[in-house]
């Protein structure tokens, strides 16, 4: 964790050096130091002003007392003389202290003014450097955006003119490789079907040849061989009945309509999914018949509507 934090700080410092933010950090530290010095100078100035004010107050009171004693100089007593001497000595000392306090107050005011001016200059300098840094970052961001757009355009052109054709070519190659085996199987099966068709055609030709020869031979055999009456009876007995349903008779149309079992299958077959083979000519005929029937019905309805008063 410490290593990661140190690396993060190092990366941040390197980034600040590259972007020029380190100088702003230095100015910020200088301004912080100036703010602390200004606070100390203001404290010294306040103390110097308080000392100067107290000394002036004490000197003023001493001068008033001395002036009071001087006003009744003719009536001084020995204690008044001693008091005046002490006040004079104290006033002399206070003058020296007031002068020292005045000098300290002047120095404190000058120091506070100097530090305040330096702090104001530092703040303005920091503001200027931050503006320059912001403009630099904005300019770098603009160039970075243009660079990214250029890279995107180059990537788009590369993909459209190089990547997509290569991708299509690879897909076609894979498709050809995948379909190669299928085409081989199809060719093999087609070859087998052709062979079977040729064999069937040859066998049918041989059967036709055999039938032609058998007919000639059969006529002579039939003429020579007698027909047994038992065979005729057996053959007649084994013949199946043809169209047994037709022997029932169709019945009248009323019976057909009243008996659903006769027409239900035909109706269900009309909408069934049974596939039928239909020629194009038959489909065209059906379409024309439907169109003619529809036109006839429409003409009849129109004629009736026009004839109605």
Q: What is the DSSP-derived secondary structure letter of residue 259?
A: -
Give pLDDT, residue 35. Answer: 93
* pLDDT band, very low/low/confident/very high, at 253 (cuts 50, 70, 90): low
Residue 133 and residue 19 in contact, taking contact as beta carbons nearer than 8 Å = yes
Q: Of all residues in the chain, what percent are helix, strand and coil, respectively (each to 5)?
A: 90, 0, 10
Statement: residue 274 has pLDDT above 50: yes
Check residues 263 and 27 and name the one with the higher pLDDT.
27
Statement: residue 222 has pLDDT above 60: no
Give pLDDT, residue 244. Answer: 38
Q: What does the mean pLDDT of the chain come to?
A: 78
Angle between helices 2-19 and 21-71 (to 10 degrees): 90
SS3 call for 60:
helix
Q: Which of 71, 97, 65, 58 is nearest to 84 (CA)?
A: 65
Q: Which of 160, 161, 158 is nearest to 150 (CA)?
A: 158
SS3 call for 291:
helix
Q: What six digits make up the tokens of 278? A: 């239909």
Give pLDDT, residue 122. Answer: 92
Burial category of 109 from C-beta neighbours within 10 Å (exposed 0-12, middle 13-18, buried 19 and up): middle
Statement: residue 206 has pLDDT above 60: yes
Range of weakest confidence among 25-34, 78-87, 300-309 = 300-309
Give pLDDT, residue 219. Answer: 44
* Rounded Cα–Cα distance for residues 193 and 197 (Å): 6
User: 49: Cβ–Cβ under 8 A, 6 or more apart, which residues?
Assistant: 105, 108
For residue range 91-146, list pLDDT tens digits in order. Answer: 888 888 889 999 999 999 999 999 999 999 999 999 998 898 888 888 888 988 99
Give pLDDT, residue 309. Answer: 54
Neighbours of 55 (CB within 10 A): 20
* pLDDT band, very low/low/confident/very high, at 200 (cuts 50, 70, 90): confident
Q: What is the pTM of this model?
A: 0.47
Statement: residue 269 has pLDDT above 50: yes
Check residues 195 and 124 and name the one with the higher pLDDT.
124
Range of weakest confidence among 54-58, 192-196, 261-265, 290-294 = 261-265
Give pLDDT, residue 9. Answer: 80
Angle between helices 78-158 and 21-71 (to 10 degrees): 170
Neighbours of 48 (CB within 10 A): 20
Check residues 205 and 34 and name the one with the higher pLDDT.
34
User: 199: Cβ–Cβ under 8 A, 6 or more apart, which residues?
Assistant: none
Give pLDDT, residue 41. Answer: 92
Q: What percent of the chain has pLDDT over 90?
A: 19
């Amino acid at each position: 964790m410490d290593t990661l934090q140190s690396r993060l700080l190092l990366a941040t410092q390197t980034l600040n050096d590259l972007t020029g933010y380190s100088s702003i950090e230095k100015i910020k530290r200088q301004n912080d130091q100036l703010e602390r010095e200004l606070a100390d100078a203001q404290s010294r100035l306040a103390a110097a002003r308080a000392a100067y004010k107290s000394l002036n107050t004490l000197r003023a009171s001493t001068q008033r007392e001395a002036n009071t004693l001087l006003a009744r100089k003719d009536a001084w007593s020995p204690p008044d003389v001693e008091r005046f001497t002490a006040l004079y000595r104290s006033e002399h000392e206070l003058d020296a202290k007031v002068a020292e306090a005045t000098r300290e107050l002047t120095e404190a005011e000058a120091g506070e003014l100097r530090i305040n001016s330096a702090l104001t200059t530092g703040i303005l300098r920091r503001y200027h450097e931050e503006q320059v840094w912001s403009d630099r970052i904005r300019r770098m961001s603009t160039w970075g955006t243009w660079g990214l757009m250029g890279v995107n355009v180059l990537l788009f052109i590369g993909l459209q003119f190089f990547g997509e054709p290569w991708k299509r070519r690879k897909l076609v190659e894979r498709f050809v490789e995948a379909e190669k085996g299928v085409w081989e199987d199809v060719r093999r099966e087609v070859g087998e079907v052709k062979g079977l068709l040729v064999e069937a055609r040859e066998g049918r030709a041989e059967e036709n040849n055999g039938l032609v020869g058998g007919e000639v031979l059969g006529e002579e055999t039939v003429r020579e061989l007698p027909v047994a009456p038992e065979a005729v009876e057996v053959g007649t007995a084994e013949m199946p009945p043809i169209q047994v349903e037709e022997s029932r008779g169709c019945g009248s149309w009323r019976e057909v309509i009243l008996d659903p079992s006769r027409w239900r299958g035909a109706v269900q077959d009309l909408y069934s999914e049974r596939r039928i083979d239909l020629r194009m000519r038959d489909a065209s005929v059906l379409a024309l018949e439907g169109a003619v029937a529809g036109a006839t019905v429409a003409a009849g309805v129109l004629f009736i509507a026009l004839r109605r008063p």
